[in-house]
Amino acid sequence: MNTALLATPASYIVNALLVVTAVDTQTEKDPDAKPQPVLLTSDAAVIAAASAVLSSGEFKAAANETVLIHSPAGVNSPRLLIIGLGKLGLGKAASITPQSVRNAAGTAVRYAKPRGIRELAFALPEHASLSPAAAAQAATEGAFIGDYDPDTYRSDRKDLSIQSFILLAPETPELKAAMQTGFILGESQNFTRSLVNEPGNKLTPTEMGRRAQVMAHEVGLKCEVFSTEKLHELKMGAFWSVSQGSEEPPALIVLRYEPANAPKDGPVLGLVGKGITFDTGGISIKPSEKMEAMKYDMAGGAAMLGAMRAIALLKPNVRVLSVVCAAENMPDGKAQKPGDVQTAMPFKDGEPGKTIEIINTDAEGRLVLADGLTYARQLGATHLIDAATLTGACVVALGMVNVGAFSNDDPTIEKFLAAAKITGEKFWRLPLGDEYAEQIKSDIADIKNTGGRYGGAITAAEFLKHFVGETPWIHLDIAGLAWVEDTKPYIAKGPSGIAVRTLFEWVKSY
């Protein structure tokens, strides 16, 4: 998709689908009161062209609601699409968020695609509460996110991609930079989505490592990919225990971003991702229903790769390393069994690694992350964040609305939650505590890999906490949001690319 920033008045646009946004300014508490939609543009010709439909009561300006006007009077474009941003709010609290703009731009793109429209001009919403730069970045992100479709392997697939996205706004350096940032973040999120969308027979651990290397070469990251021999050398017994049941060898993917001017005594941020390219559950095999969805069990690792791509291109002045542990979890005759005891990677030579009693082989993600977190610490990470489609329990707790977030350090997670407010992605902090840690104590080993039915997302986080030491750490359980179950106006059904943009903002905050 080509992008451009133009200061041309909206009504002057000739060939593209012209898109403007509207809000409902009705502030009465009566839910039956008639909506009062208002366009967020100062272009008098566009306002006049839309006046009849806005006054009819048919269009309420609800979030992502659309109405199309053909041959709008006084406007050069043959089509005028109005997209609602929702209620403006009450009194002094009245505001418009970048997230609503992001979704509106995605809605515009997804509206245009099936109608064969290839060029789109989006008028940047004009409102005192909205930062033009934040809106420009959000709109560009939304356009790229909306343009992605997951029908990669359809033999009758037609390329319906938007060819040109024009943002109508002042041509200032600030808005140009914001649009470029949005372009990179949107593309990086789609890079993650393309990985998550791949079937397990196409994206093996080895192939995931190869694609990481290709991406790293393109954007200037250092990248190394290791396999079985390295796992044994590092004594990654937890990671290897998941891999041992598969014919496909594991991949230990290590990426480094090292800006020349970063302070030598500054932080080193460690991004660790679960990369289970297919999860059968192992010997504790999953039910067959919806097992095909388990190709997405590498979404945490893919999010880290997408974030590293954005970091390399947007160049924050902080050192970052990423460790992605990719493997298949299969029920082969060599696979680990419930009751086995595995030894995780030691942090220092000469130290014993923690021993883990395997209660359920389907609790494998925490095993690969255990060694990944330890290795990131060993490589010098001063702050850690991991992402994983880790537990169904987190989905039960938070539904498909919020990512579960855990941390051993308040300032670190406060930085992350502040970053999430910028990106519009939803995270909810869940607790840790000694009472939960008791649930994963083992009679035969140091710890066990499940803590029973109750508090499953929390006990999984407590398991990971054993492998971070005193390092400030965040754990993201993205199981409920890594896959969009139903098509939304602004994003296709399928992989979401959750956390990529927030990970970047968190890194930038350092």
The first and second tokens of residue 350, run together, are 């000469």
Q: What is the mean pLDDT of the chain?
A: 96
pLDDT score recorded for residue 29: 66
Domains of the chain, first to last: 2-171 (3.40.220.10), 186-508 (3.40.630.10)
pLDDT score recorded for residue 33: 75
Cα 159 from Cα 154, distance rounded (Å): 11
30 pLDDT more than 90? no
pLDDT score recorded for residue 158: 87
Cα 70 from Cα 460, distance rounded (Å): 55
pLDDT score recorded for residue 90: 55
- Helix, strand, coil content of the chain in percent (nearest 5): 35, 20, 40
The closest of 296, 426, 456 to 363, measured between CA atoms, is: 456
Q: Are 225 and 209 in contact (CB under 8 A)?
A: yes
181 pLDDT more than 80? yes
388 pLDDT more than 90? yes
pLDDT-derived band at 34, boundaries 50, 70, 90: confident
Q: Are 337 and 283 in contact (CB under 8 A)?
A: yes
Cα 423 from Cα 102, distance rounded (Å): 9
> In this predicted model, what pLDDT tens digit does every residue of 313-344 receive, in sequence order?
999 999 999 999 999 999 999 999 999 999 99
Q: Are 99 and 424 in contact (CB under 8 A)?
A: yes
Cα 248 from Cα 234, distance rounded (Å): 20
By annotation, the residues acting in catalysis are 286, 366
Residues 364-383 have a mean pLDDT of 98
Q: Higher-confidence residue: 430 or 57? A: 430
> What type of residue is 288?
S
Q: Are 498 and 420 in contact (CB under 8 A)?
A: no
Output the CA torsion 370→374→375→379 (10° steps). Answer: 150
pLDDT score recorded for residue 89: 65
3-state secondary structure of 446: coil
pLDDT score recorded for residue 214: 98
> What type of residue is 145?
I
Residue holding tokens 């255990």? 370
pLDDT score recorded for residue 290: 94
Cα 23 from Cα 88, distance rounded (Å): 6
Task: Give the side-chain half-sphere CA count within 13 A for 399.
Answer: 2
Cα 492 from Cα 280, distance rounded (Å): 26
Residues 349-377 have a mean pLDDT of 97
Q: What is the pTM of this model?
A: 0.97
> In this predicted model, what pLDDT tens digit does every residue of 437-449 receive, in sequence order?
999 999 999 999 9
Q: Tell me phi and psi for residue 162, to 5 degrees.
A: -70, 130
Cα 19 from Cα 281, distance rounded (Å): 47
> In this predicted model, what pLDDT tens digit does every residue of 459-491 receive, in sequence order?
999 999 999 999 999 999 999 999 999 999 999
pLDDT score recorded for residue 31: 63
389 pLDDT more than 60? yes
